[in-house]
Structure 1
Amino acid sequence: MAELIKIYEENPSPKAIKQAVDILRNGGLIIYPTDTVYGLGCDITNTAALEKIARIKGVKLEKSNFSFIVEDLSNLSEYATLNNQNFKLLKRNLPGPYTFILPGSSKLPSVFKKKKTVGIRVPNNAIAKAIVSELGNPIVSTSIKDDDEVLEYTTDPSLILEKWERLVDAVIDGGYGDNQASTVIDLTGEQPEVIREGKGSLEIF
């Protein structure tokens, strides 16, 4: 059964962050807040955990479109390749509610070697950034969708726990989440292409 870990975004408790990171390091799955909707995530270096998420989402891991949550752009070359123009675009708009699709790097973990593209996220959320910072590498993440016809995403952490407690190891309660996902922008072509319009403004173009 999953545990509920309360963390305040204004001042994330190092002890609570470490508790979440220990779960990730041990191959566990967590649901955690971002600057958009709550996400389901695991340690990018743990293949068994990655396979668990793929099973939950009903996809094959090598064909999955999970996002990589990174703390900042400093180690991006390990996971993606980008030119100066795209780097400037990311630098201007991250952290923020965007997922940028970029060509994958040759240094990707072996389970993602066949992937030609990766989705990169730097959420503007202190809890998410603190978890990634403490972990020391990206979280592989996917939004948690709802079956509700009115609300696509559950925003209340206690309701999330109720629904997911048998599937994950912890739900990080960072307060009510948003019900609008990130804006997804493909940067692999000659011109940026909007794949999904979400919370992020399109005025950046």
Structure 2
Amino acid sequence: MARYFDVHPQNPQPRSISQVVDVLRSDGVIAYPTDSCYALGSTIDNHDGAERIRRIRHLDDRHHFTLVCSDFAQLGQLVQLSNSAFRAIKAATPGPYTFILPATPEVPRRLAHPKKRSVGVRIPDHPVVAALLRELGEPLLSSTLLMPGQEDPMTEGWQIKEELDLQLDAVLDAGDCGREPTTVVDWTEGAPEVVRVGAGDPDRF
């Protein structure tokens, strides 16, 4: 059964955040709120975590996982950035955007796209995620909590706990955080291409 943590959306209780990080460090998979919608997360070095997320969402190995970062310095260690990408992405973060970029050697091969060697990265604008990432001290492997056959992501923590109780180790509930996934911008070919329109304004790219 998943442990359930009900936290304040602006000032999450430090003890709860610490306990959720303990779950992650024990190779757990969690559901947590972001600035666009709820997501599934595990640590990067949790080999089983990515597979568990794939099973929950019925994803294949071509799926782009997202590495959720606390700041731009952390993001820059994971992906290769041209000058134009650096300026545009820095101006748009933190925010509800995911950027697909060539991965650096810091990213485990199993988490990058098998052919392109690319990976998604983002810096959410949400106090709960910020607290979680500070306590964890490393990026979080993540995927939108969009279930098979559904058009909209799950938006209520209690519902996530009810429906995925046996598939998760913890649910971090900070109330409704929206139902629109991130806007996804692919920068692997040297210029930005908006491949999914979501919560972030696509016009800036």
* Length-normalised TM-score, structure 2: 0.92
**Change in CA separation of 1:60 and 1:145 when aligned onto 2, cut-off 3 Å:** closer
Q: Which moved more, 1:114-123 or 1:51-60?
A: 51-60
CA distance in 2, matches of 1:27, 1:190: 35
Indicate the percent of aligned positions where both proteins have the same amino acid.
Answer: 36
Greater CA deviation, 130-139 or 24-33? Answer: 130-139
Q: Which residue of 2 aligns with 1:140?
A: 141
Unaligned runs of 5+ in 2: none
Q: SS of the residue aligned with 1:137?
A: coil
Aligned partner of residue 41 in structure 2, secondary structure:
strand
Q: 2:125 — aligned with what?
A: 124
Following superposition, the deviation at residue 148 of structure 1 comes to: 7.4
Structure-1 separation of matches of 2:191 and 2:35: 26
Judged with a 3 Å threshold, the aligned counterparts in structure 2 of structure 1 residues 112 and 127 are, in CA distance, closer, same or farther, namely same
Structure 1: runs of 5+ lacking an equivalent: none
Whether the aligned pair in 1 keeps the contact of 2:68 and 2:124 (CA below 8 Å) is yes
Paired position in structure 1 for 2:40: 40
State the Cα distance separating 1:187 from its structure 2 match: 1.0
CA contact (8 A) 2:5 2:171 kept: yes
Partner of 1:204: 204
Conserved? CA contact 1:71–1:133, under 8 Å: yes
Where in structure 2 are the equivalents of 1:30-109 lying within 5 Å? 30-61=30-61, 63-109=62-108
- Pairwise CA RMSD of aligned residues? 1.8
Contact 2:3 2:171 in 1 (8 A): yes
Contact kept in structure 2, 1:77 and 1:105, CA below 8 Å: no
Show the counterpart of 1:153: 153
- Cα 1:111–1:190 shift into 2, 3 Å: closer
Structure 1, 123-132 or 21-30: larger mean CA deviation: 123-132
**TM (normalized to structure 1)?**
0.92
Moved more, 114-123 or 98-107: 114-123
Residues in 2 aligned to 1:22 and 1:33: alpha-carbon distance in whole angstroms = 17
